[in-house]
Structure 1
Amino acid sequence: MGAITMTELPKLALGAWAWGDSANYFGNDYDESHFKNVYNASIKAGLNLWDTAYAYGKGKSETILGDLMANTPRQDLFISTKFTPMMADPGNKNSVNEMFAGSLARLKTDYVDYYWIHNDDDVELWTPKIIPLVKSGQVKHVGVSNHDLHEIKRVVEILGDAGIKLSAVQNHYSLLDRTSEKAGILEYCQENGIKFFSYMVLEQGALTGKYDEDHPFPAGSQRAVKYNSKLRELSGLNHVLAEIGAKRNVSAAQIAMAWAIAKGTFPIIGVTKVEQVEDAANVAKISLKDDEIQALENSAKEAGISTIREWEKDMTD
C-alpha cells in the first residue's frame, strides 16, 4: 500500500518541533521515553499525521519520531519533514539529497508524504532540486513554508514545468498573525487546491490560558524571551478564548485550534503531553459560530501585538 490518500487525513497534524529541544527553545528537557505515551495516544486517537524537520534539534526530533513509529505500519502514518536552506551549503549541489537522505534514515522510512522547502532563501536555486525526489517516488507531496504569495506562484511555475503540483503551503497563522490571510495566500491556496498548513496556531502556548503574568514561560527559554513581555496584552484574548470554551465545555486552546480550522486551514498542533493530544483529537467536533469568530478576531486586534519571529516576515510586505 502506498501513501495515505488526502481523504484519509485527520483534521489536523501533530507537530514534533519541541521534541529533542537541545537549544532550550521551548524550555523542556524531555527524553524519548517521555514521548512514547504521547505518540501512542496520537495513534489511538486517529491522529496519524506528524510534522517534523531536520532543523528541530538538528535531527533529534526526527530520530525520536522515527524510533517511536518503527512499530506502526508505515501505510498507517502520514509523515511530513523539511529541507531547511539556511542549514545547507549553497555551494553543495547535493545539499537537498543529503539532508533528505538523513531524514529518511532518522525516520526509518523510504519515503515521506510531504517534503517542504522550509524557508524562502532562494526559490530559483532550491525548488528544482526537489523535483528528482518527487519523480523517484520518495516524496509524495511537495510543500513550501514561510514563502510569500509571489514566491509561492513562482514555485508553482517551476514545479508545473516539470509536471508536478505544489500540494501545500505552511506558514505561521494564528489569531495574532493573519498576514498570510491579508496577503491573499489563503485565498490563492483555496482557489488552486493547495492545502494551507497553519503553524503556531497556539503561539507556542501563549493562546492556551496556561501562561499569564503570574505564570510566565520557563525562564531562559526562547518562548519566555518572545512572549513573557506580552502576557498582559494577551490577557483579554485569552479571556475570550476561555469564555467561549467554557460555554462549550472545552479549553481555550481547543477554541484557538477550532478557529484555525474554521478559517479553512489545516493546523499543526505541537504536542508534548498526552492531554494535549486528547484536546487536539476533539477539536474536529467544535464548530464555531460567526459571532464567536468575530469576537476572537476583535479581541486579537485589540491586543495589538506582533508575534512574527526572526525567521519569518510580514507576508503583506
Structure 2
Amino acid sequence: MANLPKIALGAWAWGNDGTFGNNLTAESLKPIFDTAMENELNLWDTAYAYGMGTSEKVLAGFLEGLPRESYLISDKFTPQCADASSASAMKDMIEMQLGLMDLDRFDVYWIHNVSGAPKWTEELAKYFEGKDNVPLLGVSNHNLSEIKQANEILKAHGLKLSAVQNHYSLINRSSEDSGILDYCKENDITFFSYMVLEQGALSGKYDTKHPMPEGSARAEIYNPVLDKLEILNEELKKLADKYGVGMAQIPVAWAIAKETLPIIGVTKENQVLDAVKAANITLTDEEVSSIEKVADSLELNVIRFWEKEMK
C-alpha cells in the first residue's frame, strides 16, 4: 500500500453526535476535504460508531469518483456496534461498512477498544486470513499486554499487527512509559497518536482567563488545571514563535518527532492548513526534551474514562 502521510485526519466530529456541540453538514465539510487532498493529507480516520455511519457516509460522498489510489481509509470494528450473538458479526460489520462507503477494501482496519477484544481479534484474523489486499490491522485503546496478545492471535493466522492507536500527548505519555512505543518500533508497528492537543488544552486557545465552556466533559478535566497548563503553553509559544507557526502546531510536531502518526480531528479548513504546517516542522532533540521536562514537572493526570493505565 502507499506510504502513510505524517498526519491522519480524523472524521469523528463528522458523525454529528453532539460531542462538539455543532451541526456539521457535508456542504461545510467538503472544502475541508478538498484542502486536505490538495495538500497530500489523504489518510482519513473514521468509524461506524461516529454517528452510526454518518461520518462514513459523508466521507464516502467526497471520495466518489476519485482514483482509489489517491486516498487511504482507516475504519474500525467497534464491539459495541456489533451483534455479539451472531457468528458472522465481524464479516457483517466489515461488509456493511464497505457498502456504506462504496469501497472494495480498507487501508487500515482496527479493533476499536478492548471490549471482548481477544474474541474479536480472532474473528478479524479469520476474516482476513488468506485474503488479498489485507489492510494494516490495528488495535486501539489497548495496553501493552493486550497489544502483545493481539499480535500473537494475528500471527497464528499468518497475519501481523501493523498499527496501534492510543491517546498520547505531552501530558499523557503512558503509552511511552509503559513500553508500548518501544514495542511498536521493535515490531514494525505504526503508532497512531490521538488527542495530541488534549481537545484544545494544548492549543493556546484556553487559559485561566479563558476557560473551556462549562458543562463539557473536557472542561471538567482541563479547567481545574489551566494554571499548570499555562506554564507548558508558555514554553510551546516560544517554539511556535521560533518556527513562525501557531502554538497548536508544536504538540503535533512533537508527536511526529516521537515517531508517531498523529490523528487530528478537522472541522475547519484552517485546521488542515495548521496540520500541513505541523508536518513541516522538525523539532530538535533538545527542544523535544525541553518541553517534555516542563510537561512532566506538572504531574498531570488526564487519563480519560475510556482509558486505563497502559502497562
TM-score normalised by the chain length of structure 1: 0.92
**1:1-317 paired onto structure 2 within 5 Å:** 4-5=1-2, 8-22=3-17, 24-134=18-128, 135-137=130-132, 139-316=134-311
Deviation readout 1:35-72 (Å, 9 max, x if unpaired) = 10100000000001011111112221111111112132
Contact 1:209 1:238 in 2 (8 A): yes
**1:276 Cα deviation from its structure 2 partner:** 0.9
Distance 1:105 1:222 in 2: 34
Gaps of 5+ in 2: none
Q: Amino acid of the residue matched to residue 298 of structure 1?
A: K
C-alpha separation in 1, matches of 2:99 and 2:181: 34
Q: CA RMSD in A?
A: 1.7
Check the 8 A contact 1:13/1:48 in 2, yes or no.
Answer: yes
Measured after TM superposition, the shift of residue 85 of structure 1 is 1.4
Give yes or no for contact 2:53–2:100 (8 Å, CA) kept in 1.
yes
The whole-number CA distance in structure 2 between the counterparts of 1:40 and 1:143 is 27
Aligned residues: 310
151-160 or 213-222, which moves further after superposition?
213-222
Q: What amino acid maps onto 2:245 in structure 1?
A: V
Q: Do the aligned partners of 2:79 and 2:112 also contact (CA within 8 Å) in 1?
A: yes
The answer as to whether partners of 1:52 and 1:62 remain within 8 angstroms in 2 is yes
Normalised by the size of structure 2, how large is the TM-score?
0.94
Deviation at 1:99, TM superposition (A): 2.0
In 1, are the aligned partners of 2:204 and 2:247 still within 8 Å (CA)? yes
Structure 2 distance, partners of 1:305, 1:31, is 36
Letter of the 2:115 counterpart: D
User: One-letter code of the match for 2:100?
Assistant: R
In the alignment, structure 1 segments of 5+ residues that lack a partner are: none
Alpha-carbon displacement from aligned partner over 1:276-306 (angstroms, at most 9, x marks no partner): 1111112232111222112211221233222
